[in-house]
Structure 1
């Protein structure tokens, strides 16, 4: 065997920067509270019964979680109902958002991405990581792309070994 043979890591030398949207969003767990369980005949919210049910509800199950508060029926829920839920859950949940779990994931990702410093990618070749442990909302990929276009030279999707070109800064 030739001792001059050296394996070269071309990916490391490529200057590609991988952005992991899951890491930017951070670790969070979403639990849902469906107001359907508090409705009379799954249609009507009675204030007195609702207040009583909220006082009996086990709020500790939402400790350190993001609580998604929504109603899965077509009932019209008054705004004050969501406000009452917040007053009970605030001491337990990390955050409380009105919406389905999917909407809450989207909200959490967009909030984290909005706070991210995109200027660090100035004139860089960027790969937005495509695989992750949890499902990342399409809106997060769209938002990241929108924020990268003014600063990056190239935007790709996937992994360094296998990527899809998405955008390239036009040559002047």
Structure 2
């Protein structure tokens, strides 16, 4: 038996559950909605002109997407503007945020992990697989959630050589 086979056999006997947090990444498409083109002279919100401009938007473009509202220029945007745009988007999506796309994605990802039932991991040894594509916030959320479910040991890395993060004392 070579070294790789020995390692594979040892891993199988460890009784560790591996979780790949990429599996919980939302699959929804993300879209931006820039308020700037709808501002009067590209500078300010004038209600009448703003509402007329918004009425011309093809809202179907945002169907079944997660929408991030922003303004590409440094303008003072009244709060009702975000409410107005959200109301226009509501028949097409409920995933509207004032955050940048990456932050919006992380929020949705956290929500996905938080909704997962991990009761089957009570008293188990769990490793969160290392992946640079997974933001730190997701690892933090997963750690807190898994500890609340009573995992015996929580690790990070790969099954063969995980880093122990938490170990419950017997």
TM-score interval w.r.t. the shorter chain? 0.7 to 0.9
Q: 1:160 is matched with which residue?
A: 159
| Equivalent-residue separation in structure 2 for 1:26 and 1:103 (angstroms) | 13
Do the aligned partners of 1:11 and 1:161 also contact (CA within 8 Å) in 2?
A: yes
- Matched residue of 2:91: which SS? coil
Q: 1:131 is matched with which residue?
A: 131
Change (3 A) 1:95 1:145: same
Q: 1:23 is matched with which residue?
A: 23
Q: 2:138 aligns with which of 123, 137, 140?
A: 140
Change (3 A) 1:123 1:69: same
- Compute the TM-score of the two structures, normalised by the length of structure 2: 0.81
Distance apart, 1:104 and its partner CA: 0.6
| Equivalent-residue separation in structure 1 for 2:14 and 2:82 (angstroms) | 50
* 2:110 pairs with 1:115: no
Aligned positions of 1:15-54 closer than 5 A: 15-40=15-40, 42-54=42-54
Please list the CA deviations of residues 91-119 of structure 1 after superposition, one character each: whole Å capped at 9, or x if unmatched.
22352222111221121022222222233
| Equivalent-residue separation in structure 1 for 2:60 and 2:113 (angstroms) | 29
- Matched residue of 2:92: which SS? coil
Aligned residues: 165
- Matched residue of 2:74: which SS? coil
Please list the CA deviations of residues 132-165 of structure 1 after superposition, one character each: whole Å capped at 9, or x if unmatched.
7xx4332111111112224112212222234333
Q: 2:104 is matched with which residue?
A: 104
Change (3 A) 1:158 1:58: farther
Structure 2 unaligned regions, length at least 5: none
- Compute the TM-score of the two structures, normalised by the length of structure 1: 0.80
Structure 1 unaligned regions, length at least 5: none
